[in-house]
Amino acid sequence: MGAEQAWVLAAIPAGVFLVLALFGRALPRGGDYLGVAAIASSFILFFVVLADFLDTPGKLGPVVNDIQWSKIGDTFDLRMGIYVDPITIVMFAVVVTVALMVNIFSIGYMKGEPRYHWFFAVLQLFAASMLMLVMADNLLLLYISWELVGVCSFLLIGFYWEKRSATEAAKKAFITTRIGDVGLLIGIILLWRAGGTFNIQELIHLAEEGHFSQPYLFTALAFIFIGCMGKSAQVPFHVWLPDAMEGPTPVSALIHAATMVVAGVYLTARLLPMFEVADGMLLTVTIVGLITALLTGFIALAQTDIKKVLAYSTVGQLGFMFIALGAGEPAVAMFHLMTHAFFKALLFLGAGSVIIGTHHNQEMDRLGGLWKKMPITGTTFLIGSLALAGLPPLAGFWSKDEIFVALEHKWGAWAVILLGISAVTTAFYTTRLFIRTFMGKPADTHVYEHTRETPPVMTGALVFLAFLAITSGFVVFHEVGKALGFPGGITEFIFLPHHGPHEYELKWGFAAASLAMAVVGIFSAAWMYWGNDLRRATALANWQPGLYDMLRRKFYFDELYQGMIDRGVLGFSYIVSWFDRYVVNDTGVDGSAQITGFTGGVLKYLQTGRVPNYAMAVALGVIGLALAGLVVRG
């Protein structure tokens, strides 16, 4: 099997999805082993694909394999196929690794839950859709996978549909991303209209040749970017992601690390050559990323739910990725995407482990001091936290450092300073999260007493991910890449054609600044929360209650949207319902029925039942027709 057959990676989980969805209930243990086996075989086959890809003659040229989809006349020839290039390879690696870990972890986490088989079935479909998404060579196939991913997230977030908050969250996620999806669809249609093709590479080629006019290209890409913002939860579409925590925690890990949210980053990276051609598009991407990173960094400071903190952290880190893309560095974005995927999956699964270990407690106000009770979870969680905070030599440090370098190179110091603030808040809330959960004295002794370490099937996944969270950052180095069989570090693997590969070099100034930001954040958080002592934090909150309330309530985004919906949508729907009731229903429907009834009531007397009358009508009709004929003939 070669890289041309990479579609098999998606086909296996998709097939298993069908099996599990149809027969999972009847299988022993809900068929979870089938799910794990499917994703594991994809994991193994990924390395086959990778080896073949690295051996491809012509070194790292993209692999294309397409078939005719439908052909209408001579003008509309729709082809579908797969396109495997370094970006796809990195996405493959992230998706299969995280999906495999999540599947294994879920065996422990979901034990005894209702609809166990259905959970595993949808996980497979989720992974399959995401794999299909990242290897689609045309926007239409990509859009289909994109929507499939959305549906899967809807199903999984609303997995506990008996809970009202879960269905609400699922709805919110689906509708919010849908708004973006409409933008994506409009963008795809605009590009197709002017370019006449859905093929991504052809479209990029056309854009680089100046086939599209500047305003047109900007409009189309802006619409596509709205889709990316919706999927990747960028401000102002970020509101769905924290609520998506209603789903089972492994799902949160999957959504946040490997699938769903990174789809937007992936699509932007994939289309980045076009974004570069359109004036102002990169700046737009950068600003959206900066706003997101800053706002969510501050919101996360005041959240007390473990998963909520992690959720806002994810939104912020996605902002970092968009910033890297806005700086025109797909390699850096993909690098951060990968390292983030590993440590964020680790953190989420760690949170899941805490939730199971403490018998469903995820409020920091009731936790604390768990490290002693849950040593493996605590240690791996610490590794993930430090990676997220950006402490060397963990993975997060290298990718964040690269983002700073790229940002400064492209947009200058102002952007770096803004991002630096966000990096400090990141380190701060991460440390706060860790201290309040795992260190100091327990906030609730009852919870503490009953806490147990989770089974090996869960901690095993944590350890594996912790290993990746430590090491995955090193792929930036030329020597590490070479040793793994790549042409070099990640920046020599992924690059824009006209920029060419460049070797990574450590910029000491940036590294020192980056480290300083992490240290400032960590130490200030440690000073404030050490020993799970909230006196200093409470004093700070009381000093500026308005500010604290604003952060705790997430800058009032939900209230704002709710108000907009209440006033705008409900007001408008009131008018519509009035119109429907009185104009459409009473006047239109009832009116036409009344007119019909009245006319019939009058005209029914024509039906005398007397045959001579009918015969008379026939005769008069004949005379009339004959006269008409004579008149026409002249």
Partner 1 sequence: MATEVIWWIFALGIIALSAGVVFSRSVIHSAIFLIGSLAGVGVMFVILTVEFLALTQFLIYGGAVTVLVLLALMLTRADPSGRAEKVNGPQAPFALLAGIGVAAVLLVAALSTEWAGNTESPTNIAIEAISQRLFEDFGLPFILASVLLLVALVGAIIVARQEEGE
Partner 2 sequence: MVPLENYLALSAIVFALGVYGVLARRNAVMILMSVELMLNAVNINFVAFAAYLDPGRIVGAIFAVFIITVAAAEVGLALAIVIRLFRNRATANVDEAATMKW
> For 392, phi and psi rounded to 5 degrees?
-70, 150
Residue number, 539 or 622, with CB nearest to partner 1: 622
458 with 349: CB under 8 angstroms? yes
604 binds, among partner 1, partner 2, none (CB under 5 to 8 A by kind): partner 2
Task: Determine which helix (DSSP H) or strand (DSSP E) holds 431, and give its type and residue range.
Answer: helix 413-438
Mark residues 603-622: x for contact with partner 2 by CB under 8 A, - for none. Answer: -xx-xxxxxx--xx--x---
Residue number, 72 or 632, with CB nearest to partner 1: 632
Site for partner 1 in 574-633 (CB under 8 A): 610, 612-613, 616, 619-620, 622-623, 626-627, 630
Output the smallest distance, CB 182 to partner 2, in A: 54
630 binds, among partner 1, partner 2, none (CB under 5 to 8 A by kind): partner 1
Output the smallest distance, CB 629 to partner 2, in A: 15
Q: Is 257 exposed, middle or buried (0-12, 13-18, 19+ CB in 10 A)?
A: buried
Residue number, 51 or 615, with CB nearest to partner 2: 615
If one asks whether residue 627 binds partner 2 (CB under 8 A), the answer comes out as no
Residue number, 540 or 620, with CB nearest to partner 1: 620
267 with 325: CB under 8 angstroms? no
Output the smallest distance, CB 178 to partner 2, in A: 54
Mark residues 390-409: x for contact with partner 1 by CB under 8 A, - for none. Answer: --------------------
Site for partner 2 in 575-604 (CB under 8 A): 604
Range 474-482 contact pairs with CB under 8 angstroms and sequence separation of 24 or more: 474/393, 474/398, 475/335, 475/338, 476/335, 476/398, 476/399, 476/402, 476/504, 477/504, 478/503, 478/504
607 binds, among partner 2, partner 1, none (CB under 5 to 8 A by kind): partner 2
Residue number, 542 or 607, with CB nearest to partner 2: 607
Residue number, 600 or 634, with CB nearest to partner 1: 634
Mark residues 265-294: x for contact with partner 2 by CB under 8 A, - for none. Answer: ------------------------------
Q: Report the chain's C-alpha Rg in angstroms.
A: 30
626 binds, among partner 1, partner 2, none (CB under 5 to 8 A by kind): partner 1
Residue number, 602 or 631, with CB nearest to partner 2: 602
CA distance 491 to 501: 6
Q: Give me 163's structure tokens.
A: 């809970």
394 with 467: CB under 8 angstroms? no
Q: What are the beta bridge partners of residue 81? A: 66
Could you identify the residue written with the tokens 């008018």? 575
Contacts with partner 2 by CB under 8 A lie at 604-605, 607-612, 615-616, 619
Contacts with partner 1 by CB under 8 A lie at 610, 612-613, 616, 619-620, 622-623, 626-627, 630
